[in-house]
Amino acid sequence: MSEKEKSAGADSDPSLEWAKLWQTMAESSNRMVEAWSGSMAPFMLARLSEKPVGFGDGNELSAAIERMAQGPRVADAWDIDRKMALVFGAWIEMRQRLASYNAVAATPWAEASKRFFETVSAAGTSETPAPDWRAAFAKWSEISNEELIRNQRTDGFLQAQKELLQAGLQLRSRQDDVAEAASTMFGLPTRKDFDDVTRQLTELRREVRALARQARDRKIEGAQ
Amino acid sequence: MSDQENQASRFARDMAANAEKMFKATQLIANTRDEDVNIGTTPKHLVVRRDKVELFHYEPMAAATAKTPVLLAYGLIGRYTMADLQPDRSLVRSLLSKGLDLWLIDWGQPSRTERWLTIDDYVDDYIDAAVDRMAQETGHDKVTLLGICEGGVFTTCYAALHPEKVKNLVITITPIDFHADVKDKAAHHGFLNVWTRSLDPEDIDKLVDTYGVLPGEFMSSVFSMMTPMRSLTKYNVDLIDVVDDEAKFMNFLRMEKWLADRPHHPGEAAKQWLKELYQENRLVDGSFVLSGRQVDLKSITAPVLNVFALDDHIIPPDCSRALGAKIGSTDYTEIPLPGGHVGLFVSSKSQGKLSQSIADWLVARDTKPESEV
């Protein structure tokens, strides 16, 4: 059998097809990833379409960007470009972590499909008729839930998820640096300014309320 | 016709019927407006607002059976409307109909503005101010606290730090020992504990420092992961199941509305929640400090009712059970109920059991003189 035929044979294996279908569904419903990567994606995709060369070897590209961006600063120029480059590097890193996470998260679908098809085949003998779609779906749901939960508790999954979170936060933090620089450039208050103000407000409110409580307690003591 | 042909034709028929139902579901959703899906509708009035936090008093629905006012406190993850999802599935309505005087503290919708608020502020400022206001309005010098989930942790801390103001403490689905999940053999229980412990404390700091909050959407995605297949099938298979029954369809939409209304968790309070409690387990070992004071669970001397769900995948039962051995009160009751974290409040099966247990327990203590409890 040729390689092509072998591959076609594997693709027509119902359990593999089934696993692939559910894996795709799971990936497409990954809202967490969308939330982390969505905001800068259009911009980055546009940059990539301008300079597609080198995108394949992501590690090298992101390392080169890091080296460039972490180089010596000059006082009056290129700071925003440096920040943009850092965002780009973080975005590439996040995509790689996402790919690693998806690979780990996809593992249980194959096992779930295998178990499911074994169960269905065993049920569909001449003595026991095959279950209707609802019973079959309930069984599929039960098996895949077990496999997905088992996978979630493995060190590999937890590590991949943690690294994705770290990469997502790094990207967001670098996006914020760009936003801060742009705000400063146009004379607008930054997010850091806002955090400083709310911190002062919160602390001031605590002091005022503590004084109010002291005054109330003294009044009560005086009355007694 | 052969068996195989029969099966194929049955499958084709079922799929055609399902496609029809999905089409119907799409039409129903398109024709339903958000304002038609009402939750948290039990009548109440605003008593006082403090920053974004509001104290409400529910309108009575029956003659009083227990005079001590009850303050309902939900956590900062999700909203109190879970306890008042719809008239026939409402802990709030059920307690009112049993003659309790019910008040509510609603944390509102925290944003980055609330970044610096800590659990100290929630316990020693907002809850304390609400308790004082209730005392002023009702003439009682003590109130009953009814905490749900993280709100149960807040009320437990309050009862330990201000025992002179607490008549009874009722907690539901509340974690006390955040590491007790390891005792739970059910694989689908306690992923939140495992996940939080897998993070470095610096990851939590970075998450909060970056967003200024613990984003509601982020917590939603973690909760979705805990029931993976349910999360993947609720907008298809689940919809097929409810589409022919308008009442069930509206229940589905109400639940979705509650799930979608997940506020951000104030940042510094989230650091305490995830690091000091979930990771370091400080509440149970007595090293949790609020407003410069150690939260000593032995200081809880009021009667305590601890209700938890036996199939709670978010707060495994052993995490809640831990309270009994830690408090100073001799009047301690545990009620394990069947069901899950949310199902305890909203499922048709559990309706009545939870509210009846709480009301009976409170009424029995309300009529007793303090020396007997």
What ipTM score was computed for the predicted complex, to two decimals? 0.89
Q: What is the pLDDT of residue A71?
A: 63
Query: What contacts B105, CB < 8 A, 6 or more positions away?
Result: B53, B54, B55, B56, B71, B72, B73, B126, B127, B130
Pair A116, A161 in one domain: yes
Pair A200, A184 in one domain: no
Q: Tally the residues of chain A.
A: 224
Residue B272, in any domain of the structure: yes
Q: What is the pLDDT of residue A127?
A: 63
Residue B57, in any domain of the structure: yes
Band (pLDDT 50/70/90 cuts) for residue A130 is low
Phi, psi of B167 (to 5 degrees): -80, -50
Pair A109, A201 in one domain: no
Q: What is the pLDDT of residue A35?
A: 46
Q: What is the pLDDT of residue B82?
A: 95
Pair A152, A205 in one domain: no
Band (pLDDT 50/70/90 cuts) for residue A56 is very low
Chain B residues touching residue A179 (CB < 8 angstroms): none
Q: How confident is the model over A52-80, as a mean pLDDT?
A: 59
Calculate helix-pair angle for A79-123, A14-28, nearest 10 degrees: 140
| Alpha helix (H) residue ranges in B33-127 | 91-97, 119-120
Pair A71, A136 in one domain: yes
Q: What is the pLDDT of residue A144?
A: 93
Band (pLDDT 50/70/90 cuts) for residue A201 is very high
| Closest chain B C-alpha to A4 CA, distance in angstroms | 30
Give the count of alpha carbons within 13 A of B207, CB side only. Answer: 29
Asked if residues A91 and A171 have their Cβ atoms less than 8 Å apart, the reply is: yes
Taking CA atoms, A118 is separated from A149, A181, B8, B103, B306, in Å, by 20, 59, 19, 55, 44
Taking the C-alpha atoms of residue B270 and residue B128, their distance in angstroms, rounded to an integer, is: 20
Asked if residues B157 and B293 have their Cβ atoms less than 8 Å apart, the reply is: no
Taking the C-alpha atoms of residue A202 and residue B116, their distance in angstroms, rounded to an integer, is: 7
Query: What contacts A208, CB < 8 A, 6 or more positions away?
Result: none
Pair A144, A196 in one domain: no
Pair A162, A204 in one domain: no
Neighbour-count burial of A159, counting CB atoms closer than 10 A to its CB (0-12 exposed, 13-18 middle, 19+ buried):
middle
Q: What is the pLDDT of residue A52?
A: 43
Query: Which tens digit of pLDDT belongs to each residue from A158-200?
Result: 999 999 999 999 999 999 999 999 898 889 999 999 999 999 9
Residue B24, in any domain of the structure: no
Q: What is the pLDDT of residue A220?
A: 86
Pair A7, A108 in one domain: yes
Higher per-residue confidence, B368 vs A134: A134
Taking the C-alpha atoms of residue A81 and residue A77, their distance in angstroms, rounded to an integer, is: 9
**pLDDT exceeds 60 at position A42:** no
- 0.90 cut: is pTM over it? no
Give the count of alpha carbons within 13 A of B29, CB side only. Answer: 17
Q: What is the pLDDT of residue B23?
A: 85
Pair A168, A215 in one domain: no
Q: What is the pLDDT of residue A28?
A: 64
Asked if residues B175 and B314 have their Cβ atoms less than 8 Å apart, the reply is: no
Pair A47, A67 in one domain: yes
Residue B28, in any domain of the structure: no
CA B335 to chain centre: 16
Q: What is the pLDDT of residue B166?
A: 98
Chain A residues touching residue B187 (CB < 8 angstroms): 146, 149-150, 153
- Contact status of A88 with chain B (Cβ, < 8 Å): no
Chain A residues touching residue B207 (CB < 8 angstroms): 165, 169
Strand bridging mode B102-106 / B53-58? antiparallel
Closest CA in chain A for residue B11: A133
Q: How confident is the model over A54-77, as a mean pLDDT?
A: 59
- Contact status of A29 with chain B (Cβ, < 8 Å): yes
Mean pLDDT, rounded, of chain A: 78
Backbone dihedral region of A168: left (phi > 0), alpha (psi from -120 to 50 degrees) or beta? Answer: alpha
Domain that holds residue B207: 38-367
Pair A122, A57 in one domain: yes
Pair A149, A210 in one domain: no
| Alpha helix (H) residue ranges in B171-266 | 191-198, 201-211, 216-226, 228-233, 237-242, 246-260
Say whether B223 sits in a helix, a strand or coil. Answer: helix
**Total structural domains within chain A:** 2
Contact across the interface for B207 and A165, Cβ inside 8 Å: yes
Regions of chain B short of the pLDDT cut 50: 373
Return the structure tokens found at A15.
Answer: 């359990």
Asked if residues B40 and B118 have their Cβ atoms less than 8 Å apart, the reply is: no
**Total structural domains within chain B:** 1
Chain A residues touching residue B211 (CB < 8 angstroms): 172
**pLDDT exceeds 90 at position A83:** no
Q: Out of B188, B191, B233, whose CB is closest to A141? A: B233
Band (pLDDT 50/70/90 cuts) for residue A29 is low
Which is the catalytic residue, given B85, B149, B171, B315?
A: B149
Domain that holds residue A214: 189-224
**pLDDT exceeds 70 at position A61:** no
CATH number for B152: 3.40.50.1820
Known active-site residue B149: yes
